[in-house]
Chains A and B, each alone.
Chain A
Amino acid sequence: MHAFKYHRPSSVNDAAALVKGEAKLLAGGQTLVQTMKLRLASPSDIIDLGTIKDLAGIKSDGKTLSIGAMTRHADVAHSAEVKKAIPALAALAAMIGDRQVRAMGTIGGSVANNDPAADYPAALLALNATITTNKGKHEADKFFKGMFTTALAADEIITGVSFQVPRRAAYTKFKNPASRFAIVGVFVADFGGSVRVAVTGAGAGVFRQADMEKALAAKFAPESVANIKVKQDGLNSDMHASAEYRAHLVTVMAKRAVEAALK
């Protein structure tokens, strides 16, 4: 790791003022710190958001569930509020990385990083979430722009994420055996009348599966998606999973997510 200046601002405004040049925001650091240790990133300044009060916390009003950007994965996984409002989201948080990652990693960090195999983006897209920042709001549908790219401006800091509470939902994840990132993760959310299906891990970024959404809106049952063949075009291919295998797994994981949501 190369040397850097370390900042601990006490407010989002102070943090935003520090963002310039080669500075990087630290929101848990479960990707950034590893990258720095491998000397693949050498930021001049690290702005640690961990000491800013009010950035962490969970609130629910029955219709929406709001989670502060610096809320750790473990806190989401264990939250009674989350388990009550959207149990699938608590289950998703419990599946991220390992115990150490969940103790440090945050929802805001994960969403801002937009790793194509991360879990949270699937939840945001499927649960029609709103991302709140120091500069305004983004709809999830317009926020994720492909691999490690988002609609965030350079000095824009996520402050929280609000999820619409669905009638029922589930997330199923086929893990990379080594990294335990999603090779394919499918989040299915039934809002009663409309269904949203978001897929992570399979492509260059999280995406919605329109054929499955349509079929599930007509009938929310595993057999509605079991025979939907997903196109391989544009899907990732690597040593762990070819595009063909990923396409197959999207269908299998979607079917299992629907089964789980119905349980």
Chain B
Amino acid sequence: MKINHYLIGFAVSSLFRRGTKSLFVLFIFTALIFLLSSILFISNSIKEELNLTLDSLPQIIVQKLQAGRQTNIELKRVNKLLEFQGVQSAVPRIWGYYYFEKAGVNFSLVGIDAYDKQYKNSFANIVKNVNFDALEKTSSMVVGQGVKKALSENYYKNYFNFIKPDGDFIKVPIASTFSSKTSLESNDIILMPRSLVLEIFGMDKTKATDIVLSVANPEEIPTIAKKIKNLYPDTRVITKSDLKVSYQNIFDYKSGMFLALFVISAFTFFMIIYDKASGLSSEEKKEIGILKALGWKIDDILQEKFYEAFIISFVAFISAIILSLFFVYTLEAPILKEIFIGYSRLKPSFDLPFILDVQTIFLLFFLTIPLYLAAIIIPSWRVASMDADEVMR
């Protein structure tokens, strides 16, 4: 079938001749697609970020529970855990949250030891890059970029005064800052020698926060986890897949909420378009009458209306996607991102990695364009099947 460019030309001129109405429809349709595509882009990016984070998580974490709450675990259990077959390494971790009241944010204090096997690749890199001996000697710290920003906003340029549980101050100089490929996790992190973390939190030197294990064969993880639980009934054993599922659940819940919101706004949109397409001025009615008198079939008028809809959809679709790409990846999605992540006050900001796949574009297409077309079918048919003898009266 040949494309009728006269009809397309007529559709274009018809849109221009009803400029305000077309602009209004174009505007709300663009807004709808923009909102939806921004949500999808952000959620795709956060998913990607989460996956990167999850990949670097330890395979098994062993925590000690007392009265149902997590408590510090004895260091001597490390050697026992290493005796399990299949366990490659067992590393005690010393870490905790430090609440910085002035900025109202939580820092994650992580104790490191250059000679221990590092449990996270990103930390291993930092340890390599930083002169660890100097850090140990001068009792100083390495901070994430988000931490650095929060501190300097409060005039701590080169050091920070931690308050110990007994009320004493301890002054720790900042040796350097770092960034890692997953900004979501590294932003609030402070790395410092273990002894320093123990001191700041007032922890017992024979204990650690938890113990992380790595296992040679991932298939064995559930078995090993079960065995640990049998040996130490007072522990909680968390595997990577447990974490993955719970992260995913929280995330799906959030995007589900947004989609529910989208369904409502889509319905509103449907009604607005339906209303706009139904409300015809007498001028438009007359125009249709003229066209029918001149020999336009109902199908011709429907086709013309379809072309109009297609042009509007196409323009709205393209411009909304460009706008939201700009909004999400250049402007870093202000407001929307905060709502989506939900803990913006406590976690300093982070960058969204750029992800754009064909499937998301298809998804956007199926969520929006058919809706618009559906909204105009009945009004267009009503217009097109009007009696043409109006023009003779």
A binds B: no
Chain A interface residues (CB < 8 Å from chain B): none
Chain B interface residues (CB < 8 Å from chain A): none
